[in-house]
Chains A and B, each alone.
Chain A
Amino acid sequence: MRTVEVLFVIIILLGAFVITTQFAVLPSPSQAFGTNLRELSKSTLETLDAQGTLSQTVFTNDTDAWGDLQKAISASLPPNMVYNLSVYDLSADSQGFVSYRLANSISDAGFGADSDAASLLVTSPNVTFTQDPQKVGESTGQNITLYILNCSDANGWWITGYTGQNLATEFYNLLSPYFATTVLINSTSQLGSLLDDTLSVGNIQNAVVINTFGEAVPIPSTYASLYDDDFAEYCYVLGQKVNSYNWTWASIVGYPFYYVTNTDYFYDDDNSWGIYGMEDYNVKQAGLNAFLQGLNDRSYDNDPDDIKAGVNVVYLTSIARENCSYYGIYPSSYHTSSRALDKTVLVDYYGLDANELFVRPQDDPETWSIDESNYIPAATYKNTEGGAFAAVGLTRTPDARVTVLALLMYYHPLVYRSEFGASGTSRLVTLQLGQQGGT
């Protein structure tokens, strides 16, 4: 009996040993130490398509081209490596579901147990992808006109390296696709017609007006005569017009409304820096305050208080960066702001709603006189009673893309892009690699 028990013990021990050995299986050497086939496959596909040859080949039935591709793959890979290159045609049905159909395949041998693959989506060289922006205001049934000040009888300040006219061209190129109508205001007298609603080009209500002259604002001669003793009051009138027409007025750089400009009217006056055709008498800081009073429908008072501060380097907000990608506009992610505007005035006092582009800096204890966190480097301010004001308080030279970004963030028109998954335009190429003969 005991002998039988001993035999049982022996059987149990041997059984446990065999079972344990079965489970203690190490991975195969090729799995553990082999070349990273996926990355090798990916780098091979990228190299083959470096000059677009792979894209051309997979969209053709030319047997010579496929033969060359086969030779190229064989030449690229070590002799002990086998491959299978498959090309899938992408097609989308009416409901947008994408399906993959094998269009072509080349291979040099069968695979063993271990293989890996990478894929590359290639685009037909005969296809051009387009993007079609929605017009600003289209979603709400509005027909919004973009007016760009391109006055030939005005000079700019703080637009170093540019003129108002070539900035106008730049804004036209960047923004006109987003507007149903774009109008260049080519003289100060045309600006007068616009202010008086006698221009009869475009739709004056809800329009966007871009002042390309930096810290100077063009003034029609009729308005210059009218406000000859206090040009800040002209800025007050501009604010009123922005309110009543529900405009969005954009100042592209520096301190807004610091000078008024008209090369005919101020032919003998300069801005104290040698730029003629410009006047700062009774304007300077009072110009912006007057504009805000007009925008906010308050009574006029020539207020020379300085409401700006320099806050040094500022960075785009995450939302602004997202919009950069969405619209394909890429200004630098950081800028120097020397004309950031006081939030306590614009937001707290005037009640404007700020759509900010940059992260406000922290308070710098060394500049004890100001709290940097209270200053807004660039924003579009919406007045609840009507009108809006985009102020980009960055230092010169101006970057038109920042103003464009501010306006697009404010209106946020959609962009319709042609899909890469559209039938016949794209193909998926997979390259499967395997090693023969171990490692």
Chain B
Amino acid sequence: MAGATIDHMISLTILIAALLVAMTTYNGMFATAVDYDRNRQVANKAVDIMNTICLSPGNPVNWGETNASVLGFGLQDPEVGGYVLSPYSIMRLQVSNSSGHDQIVEYPPGSGVFYNNMSGKFGHGIFTPVGDCVDYTNVAELLGINGTYGFRLDLMPTLDVRIEQLDTNPLKLAVEVYGSGLPMSGATLNFHLFHVSDGEGGSPAITTYSDVTQTGPSGAVDIVFSDVTKIGNNDPSYTFTVYVSIGGINGVGYYTHNDLLGDSQYIIPLINNFDDGTVLIAHNWIVDPPAVQYNATFYILTSDFQLIPVPLDYNSTGLLNFGQGKPYYITEIPDSEVGLLVISYRKSAVEMGNVILPWGVGTLGISTSFGGGINSESSTYRFVATELRQVTISGISYQVKVLTWSLRG
């Protein structure tokens, strides 16, 4: 009798021990499985968001070319389809204060009129009225994820084109092309130099130099402009743009040098209206010296990366005064074509500069980020899904990255 009782006690002990081991093991496994399932949902949502952004033009399909309200979100170029994004729709994304690194611009200061700042280097950038932009909350609602998922969209050119000024008398520039960290030898370079020089009647003028060359075995090449030299002690003012092609992918790089005191641009071009392509050529109020004389020309970027000058119909030249008189002029560009609005200006007899408004994001290869900040939006997220695609914008190859996370913990 006592033996049977002991056997039963041993059996019961072993059974309980086995159950405890099983429960502990399976509990962890089940918890992992639940996490897997939740994370999988986030990963699937990342694919959905990426597909919607890259493979649908939105509604109305040409919303990027108008001031129309956006009823459906998507960045695909409706005239091309596939993995080609609209260079215009991206210009209407409100990147300021959402990605955190671009500050919104108020112009004129104190006026309460704000511009979205999609900035590039050297003061070039796309400044769009905030009222015409679509913000992150609006897009999240249009995508049907407001309050459930957060996302961030990063657009960056596939090729990294680095330019350095080696000499100014004559002008000598070094161009290096990298892709995914690798030097790109044998790349074809279509380059253009906008050299600011004296024009008629006190206005500055733009002289362009264009040519084609290739990168060497190290992915680099030096380019010399023998006609562009110092004038007295003053360095030349210019913007150099180079469009790079290799094996089906294209990139763009640019470099600007202004012969001015200080780093700030004296002129800021602001987009006034998407519908009619009007642009404000405005004095930058934050710089001190009073008046600058400007001369503006629009250059259409062709599919083979040539730049065709198109004279502006009105206000292509003018005198911008600081705070009084004419602080800005309105001009109109051919808004159905992507290109560069190049504005040269002179502050004094010797100080000259130039600033560019890229019409269409790809024309200067501007990178941008749009969406929520991972850290600011939710501190409880545990998993961020990443989705990557290759796209083309105005002929320039870009990589699109979408980061997605759940806001429900």
- Which A residues are closer than 8 A to B by beta carbons? 2-3, 6, 9-10, 13-14, 17, 20-21, 24, 26-27, 32-33, 35-36, 39-40, 42-44, 46-51, 53-54, 57, 64-65, 67-79
Task: Determine whether B169 belongs to the interface, using a CB cutoff of 8 Å to chain A.
Answer: no
Could you tell me the distance between the alpha carbons of A21 and B159 in the complex, rounded to whole angstroms? 48
Q: In whole Å, how far is B394's beta carbon from the nearest beta carbon of chain A?
A: 11
B179 A75 Cβ-Cβ under 8 A:
yes
Could you tell me the distance between the alpha carbons of A14 and B397 in the complex, rounded to whole angstroms? 58
Collect the chain A residues with CB atoms within 8 Å of residue B159's CB: 75
Residue of B nearest to A48 (CB): B248
Residue of A nearest to B181 (CB): A79
- Which B residues are closer than 8 A to A by beta carbons? 3-4, 7, 10-11, 14-15, 18, 21-22, 25-26, 29, 32-33, 36, 39-40, 43, 47, 50-51, 54, 82-84, 158-159, 178-182, 184-186, 246-250, 303, 383, 385-392, 395, 397, 399
Could you tell me the distance between the alpha carbons of A17 and B178 in the complex, rounded to whole angstroms? 55
Collect the chain A residues with CB atoms within 8 Å of residue B14's CB: 6, 9-10, 13
Q: In whole Å, how far is A374's beta carbon from the nearest beta carbon of chain B?
A: 36
Could you tell me the distance between the alpha carbons of A27 and B43 in the complex, rounded to whole angstroms? 14
Collect the chain A residues with CB atoms within 8 Å of residue B249's CB: 47-48, 72, 75-76
13 A-B contact pairs sorted by A residue (CB < 8 Å): A9-B14, A10-B18, A26-B36, A33-B39, A36-B47, A49-B248, A50-B395, A71-B186, A71-B246, A75-B158, A75-B246, A75-B249, A76-B180
Q: In whole Å, how far is A108's beta carbon from the nearest beta carbon of chain B?
A: 11
Could you tell me the distance between the alpha carbons of A75 and B182 in the complex, rounded to whole angstroms? 7
Could you tell me the distance between the alpha carbons of A57 and B245 in the complex, rounded to whole angstroms? 14
Collect the chain A residues with CB atoms within 8 Å of residue B82's CB: 46
B179 A35 Cβ-Cβ under 8 A:
no
Q: Which of the residues B50, B178, B397 comes within 8 Å of A47, measured between beta carbons?
A: B397
Q: Which of the residues B3, B179, B250, B389 comes within 8 Å of A71, measured between beta carbons?
A: B179
Residue of A nearest to B389 (CB): A43
Residue of B nearest to A44 (CB): B390
Q: In whole Å, how far is B373's beta carbon from the nearest beta carbon of chain A?
A: 21
Q: In whole Å, how far is A1's beta carbon from the nearest beta carbon of chain B?
A: 9
A57 B390 Cβ-Cβ under 8 A:
no
Could you tell me the distance between the alpha carbons of A64 and B246 in the complex, rounded to whole angstroms? 11
Q: In whole Å, how far is A60's beta carbon from the nearest beta carbon of chain B?
A: 12
Residue of B nearest to A66 (CB): B247
A2 B7 Cβ-Cβ under 8 A:
yes
Collect the chain B residues with CB atoms within 8 Å of residue A6's CB: 7, 10-11, 14
A72 B186 Cβ-Cβ under 8 A:
no
Collect the chain A residues with CB atoms within 8 Å of residue B11's CB: 6, 9
Q: A51-B395, A76-B249 are in contact. Are A27 and B18 (CB under 8 A)?
A: no
Collect the chain A residues with CB atoms within 8 Å of residue B15's CB: 9, 13
Q: In whole Å, how far is B349's beta carbon from the nearest beta carbon of chain A?
A: 45
Chain B interface mostly: mixed
B303 A51 Cβ-Cβ under 8 A:
yes
Q: In whole Å, how far is A73's beta carbon from the nearest beta carbon of chain B?
A: 7
Could you tell me the distance between the alpha carbons of A51 and B51 in the complex, rounded to whole angstroms? 22
A33 B395 Cβ-Cβ under 8 A:
no
Could you tell me the distance between the alpha carbons of A382 and B25 in the complex, rounded to whole angstroms? 80
A70 B247 Cβ-Cβ under 8 A:
yes
Q: A33-B383, A47-B83, A50-B392 are in contact. Are A27 and B36 (CB under 8 A)?
A: yes
Q: By CB atoms of chain A within 10 A, which of B32, B43, B51, B249 has the most?
A: B249
A68 B36 Cβ-Cβ under 8 A:
no
Collect the chain B residues with CB atoms within 8 Å of residue A36's CB: 47, 50, 387
Q: Which of the residues A21, A65, A67, A74 comes within 8 Å of B179, measured between beta carbons?
A: A74
Collect the chain A residues with CB atoms within 8 Å of residue B247's CB: 48, 53, 57, 65, 68-73
Collect the chain A residues with CB atoms within 8 Å of residue B43's CB: 32-33
Could you tell me the distance between the alpha carbons of A33 and B46 in the complex, rounded to whole angstroms? 10
A43 B390 Cβ-Cβ under 8 A:
yes
Q: A13-B18, A26-B33, A33-B43 are in contact. Are A74 and B180 (CB under 8 A)?
A: yes
Collect the chain B residues with CB atoms within 8 Å of residue A76's CB: 158, 179-180, 249, 390, 397, 399
Collect the chain B residues with CB atoms within 8 Å of residue A67's CB: 186
Collect the chain B residues with CB atoms within 8 Å of residue A39's CB: 47, 50-51, 389
Q: In whole Å, how far is A33's beta carbon from the nearest beta carbon of chain B?
A: 5
Could you tell me the distance between the alpha carbons of A43 and B184 in the complex, rounded to whole angstroms? 21
Collect the chain B residues with CB atoms within 8 Å of residue A46's CB: 82-83, 390
Q: By CB atoms of chain A within 10 A, which of B33, B51, B83, B386 has the most?
A: B83
Q: Which of the residues B185, B186, B246, B386 comes within 8 Å of A35, measured between beta carbons?
A: B386
Collect the chain A residues with CB atoms within 8 Å of residue B388's CB: 35, 40, 78
Collect the chain A residues with CB atoms within 8 Å of residue B21's CB: 17
Residue of A nearest to B18 (CB): A13
A72 B391 Cβ-Cβ under 8 A:
no
Could you tell me the distance between the alpha carbons of A39 and B388 in the complex, rounded to whole angstroms? 9
Residue of A nearest to B385 (CB): A33
Could you tell me the distance between the alpha carbons of A32 and B38 in the complex, rounded to whole angstroms? 11
Q: Which of the residues B25, B33, B186, B399 comes within 8 Å of A68, measured between beta carbons?
A: B186
A72 B39 Cβ-Cβ under 8 A:
no
Residue of A nearest to B8 (CB): A2
Residue of A nearest to B84 (CB): A50
A64 B186 Cβ-Cβ under 8 A:
yes
Q: In whole Å, how far is A167's beta carbon from the nearest beta carbon of chain B?
A: 29
Q: In whole Å, how far is B50's beta carbon from the nearest beta carbon of chain A?
A: 7
Beyond the given A64-B186, A73-B247, A76-B399, could you list 4 further A-B residue pairs with CB under 8 A, ordered by the A residue number? A6-B7, A32-B43, A51-B248, A75-B158
Q: In whole Å, how far is A106's beta carbon from the nearest beta carbon of chain B?
A: 11
Q: By CB atoms of chain A within 10 A, which of B18, B39, B390 has the most?
A: B390
Could you tell me the distance between the alpha carbons of A3 and B6 in the complex, rounded to whole angstroms? 10
Collect the chain A residues with CB atoms within 8 Å of residue B185's CB: 71
Q: Which of the residues B50, B184, B186, B386 comes within 8 Å of A75, measured between beta carbons?
A: B184
B248 A50 Cβ-Cβ under 8 A:
yes
B40 A33 Cβ-Cβ under 8 A:
yes
Q: In whole Å, how far is A12's beta carbon from the nearest beta carbon of chain B?
A: 10
Could you tell me the distance between the alpha carbons of A17 and B19 in the complex, rounded to whole angstroms? 10
